[in-house]
Structure 1
Amino acid sequence: MLTKSLRSLLTLLVLVMGLGLAPTTMAVDEQNSKQQGTAKMSDADLWRAVKAGESGYSTDQGLEGGNLINVAGNQGKEIKNEYLTPAMGFTVLGVFAVFLVFFLVNGPSKLSHGYSGKMVERWSKSDVKLHWVLAISCLLLIVTGLNIMLGKHVLQPYVGDGLWASLIGASKFIHDWSGPVFFVSWVLCVVKWMPLQTFKLYDLKWFLVVGGYINFGPFKGKHPDSGFANAGEKMWFWTLTIFGLFICISGAMLVLPGLDLPREASMAALLIHATSAIIIIAFTIVHIWMATALSEGGMECMKSGYCDENWAIQHHNLWYDEIKENGSIRYKE
């Protein structure tokens, strides 16, 4: 009887304790669920902030050390890859193809009266040297820049990893060291030649008759007035002056680590650099075509500094008349 009573009492105590602990257990479980929900919500908010480019805490004391993801950098990379890289490729192929077709259909601009045999000084020896320093450095920048921008699409799939590493490494080295040479020669050319590059009213006619280079139709044989520099040369000069300035400033921002620029500024410099390069590449191709294949006798000017007298009369008549009148004309001995 006593044993039965003790068992009943023990059972009652267990029931009472169980009922007392149940609310506590439920409260703990509910609290744990809330904490887990809060933790999950905090993780989601954290990564959302990281993807949005918000800064956090980092022991790295460098510029933007607290940024795991730079939004502007990613957006700039997308613009470069989706728009500027294809535009550069289309510019090279498109402009070259257009002038090739024009040359095959139209042919070069011949001298109407042939070569006179008398050579007139057009450029001094220092001008010729300065031109070639600028031209060679510019061409090196263009070729290496094209490889840096387009090489991974055009060359890398067809060459070995070792050769590609050498090519891209050499391109980067040549590009970086050609830049200062281009900058110095660019400054000298701009300062020295700017007085000769002001636009005149007669330059408008040069554009209307395409400089007299058309060999068929109503434009055939139309040689517009031109001073020392024709309208096309002036356009090339001012394009090189303006976008060359953008190239130089943005290039310096990209290759000088001591500037420690924010990622946004570096990406803006890269986009400006690439855009300016595309424009300069297009005009460089035009300039080379016009000065060589499309103009009979034109290349001699930048080889020796002298041009044939009939070439001067046909392509730069106002300049020729001026030096003839004031007695400053100089012939090659």
Structure 2
Amino acid sequence: MFKRIKRTSLVMLSLMAALLLTFSFASNASESANKGSASVSEREITQLAGADFWRQVRQGEEGNTTSQFPEHGVLISTPGQTWYILKEKWMSPAGAIAIFGSISVVILAYIVVGPVMLSKPRTGRKIKRWSRLDRALHWSMAFTFLTLAFSGLMLVYGKHFLKPYIPTELWGFVIMLAKQYHNYLGPLFGVLLILILFKWWRKSIFSRVDLTWFMKLGGMVGKHKGTHPSAEFSNAGEKALFWLLIVVGSVVAFSGLVLDFPIFGQTRRDMELSNLVHMLSALILICGFVFHIYIGLFGMEGALEAMVTGEVDETWAKEHHDIWYDEVKDQSIEEDKAEIEGNEYKNRGASNEQSA
């Protein structure tokens, strides 16, 4: 078994190394081409306008214009080179490593640790957990987030992984489609974020029991694997993921709106900063939701069906959310008692009418 794990890990690491090398070579080739075209443009402008004029422009010398924009006199934004270096030399490679690393971790977790299974057989009795509105919000957010993540990654990495291998016309159509989709659907992410906050914030307030859940790592790994620590309707991991989505997602949404609507006096510095913040916060969300997707699809028995059907088996509720299960059970007993008392009252009333 360990030999198989080692071989699998070696293959994964080799694939990651190959992808990163491909990314590096593509980046270097693109950089060389950009430098070559830039040098040609500089020589042509220098010949047309003169070396002194070009030097003044490079140093931020302002000219005259009728524009009222805050940076109306700046022809070339020299500090923009800092933004370009941060984006292309640091953020893009680090983001690729973070995403590949997150995917590799969950694959290794599945191979080495395995999914969390129920320790007892299912009873067949179902408990309502999610309403139709809950499920509609969840899957709407899932679709919106995943498609925005894919289109955003295409805008950042497509020129390295796709552009060299397809016709220029097709690449132009693909990148135009990704850009338009990302720009127009982006505000919907912010709307869904507000709806989810108002719908689920009460279920996501941390309590003392969540500390024990974190200390036992949710009963998913280590010596506590399979122990199923106590949890309310939402366990500590779900609460942490919820607030990660709300806080970091708000940063993503706000910075995206700044980029989407450059009509409120934003300068180039504002746009560059918003772009970097947008990229960093989006990468944090993507890496976080890699683990969420793993738990929902592969890492925990019964997790996916809860959000598909809205119901969970009694055993699943008792093992993963025992505090919530006890509340639901007590509520069900009270409802049954009330129903029995109501039926008895109706029966006594019918008997009295017959006697009269």
TM-score, with length taken from structure 1 = 0.81
Q: Does 1:251 align with 2:256?
A: yes
Q: Does 1:233 align with 2:256?
A: no
SS in structure 1 at match of 2:247: helix
- What is aligned with 1:159? 166
Given candidates 276, 280, 300, the residue that maps to 1:275 is: 280
- Partner Cα separation in structure 1 for residue 118 and residue 260 of structure 2: 47
Identify if the C-alpha distance between structure 1 residues 182 and 138 changes in structure 2 by more than 3 Å, giving closer, same or farther. same
SS in structure 2 at match of 1:229: coil
Given candidates 133, 138, 142, the residue that maps to 2:149 is: 142
SS in structure 2 at match of 1:58: coil
- Partner Cα separation in structure 1 for residue 185 and residue 169 of structure 2: 24
Shift of 1:54: 4.4
Shift of 1:257: 3.5
- Partner Cα separation in structure 1 for residue 52 and residue 166 of structure 2: 45
Shift of 1:48: 5.0
Identify if the C-alpha distance between structure 1 residues 329 and 207 changes in structure 2 by more than 3 Å, giving closer, same or farther. farther
Alignment of 1:140-219 (within 5 A): 140-214=147-221, 218-219=223-224
**Which AA in structure 2 matches 1:211?**
G
Contact 1:202 1:226 (8 Å CA) reproduced: yes
- Partner Cα separation in structure 2 for residue 61 and residue 321 of structure 1: 65
Q: Deviations along 1:274-301, whole A, 9 cap, x unmatched? A: 0110100011111111112001000011
Q: Deviations along 1:183-229, whole A, 9 cap, x unmatched? A: 11111001111111111222122222221122xx5223221111111
Q: Does 1:315 align with 2:320?
A: yes
Identify if the C-alpha distance between structure 1 residues 182 and 112 changes in structure 2 by more than 3 Å, giving closer, same or farther. same
- Partner Cα separation in structure 2 for residue 146 and residue 328 of structure 1: 51
Shift of 1:261: 1.3
Shift of 1:61: 4.6
Q: Does 1:261 align with 2:266?
A: yes
Report which stretch shifted further, 168-177 or 142-151: 168-177
Percent identity over the alignment is 37
Shift of 1:44: 7.5
Contact 1:140 1:178 (8 Å CA) reproduced: no
- What is aligned with 1:95? 102
- What is aligned with 1:65? 72
SS in structure 2 at match of 1:120: strand
- What is aligned with 2:297? 292
**Which AA in structure 1 matches 2:241?**
W
SS in structure 2 at match of 1:292: helix
Contact 1:128 1:305 (8 Å CA) reproduced: yes
**Which AA in structure 1 matches 2:227?**
K
- Partner Cα separation in structure 1 for residue 226 and residue 291 of structure 2: 21
Q: Deviations along 1:105-140, whole A, 9 cap, x unmatched? A: 111100111322111111111110111111100111
Q: Deviations along 1:246-288, whole A, 9 cap, x unmatched? A: 1111111111143241111111111111011010001111111
Bigger Rg, which one: 1
**Which AA in structure 2 matches 1:146?**
L
Shift of 1:158: 1.4
- Partner Cα separation in structure 2 for residue 329 and residue 177 of structure 1: 49
Report which stretch shifted further, 297-306 or 171-180: 171-180
- Partner Cα separation in structure 2 for residue 52 and residue 290 of structure 1: 53
Q: Does 1:129 align with 2:136?
A: yes
Contact 2:116 2:226 (8 Å CA) reproduced: no
SS in structure 1 at match of 2:299: coil
Contact 1:87 1:278 (8 Å CA) reproduced: no
Unaligned runs of at least 5 residues, structure 1? 1-42
Shift of 1:45: 7.4
Unaligned runs of at least 5 residues, structure 2? 1-49, 336-356
**Which AA in structure 2 matches 1:131?**
H
Name the Cα RMSD after superposition: 2.0
- Partner Cα separation in structure 2 for residue 313 and residue 177 of structure 1: 43
**Which AA in structure 1 matches 2:247?**
I
SS in structure 2 at match of 1:307: strand
Contact 2:58 2:76 (8 Å CA) reproduced: yes
Q: How many residues align?
A: 286
Structure of higher RCO (CA pairs closer than 8 Å, 6+ residues apart) = 1
- Partner Cα separation in structure 2 for residue 52 and residue 114 of structure 1: 74
Shift of 1:320: 0.9
- Partner Cα separation in structure 1 for residue 223 and residue 267 of structure 2: 57
SS in structure 1 at match of 2:298: coil
Report which stretch shifted further, 70-79 or 220-229: 70-79
**Which AA in structure 2 matches 1:132?**
W
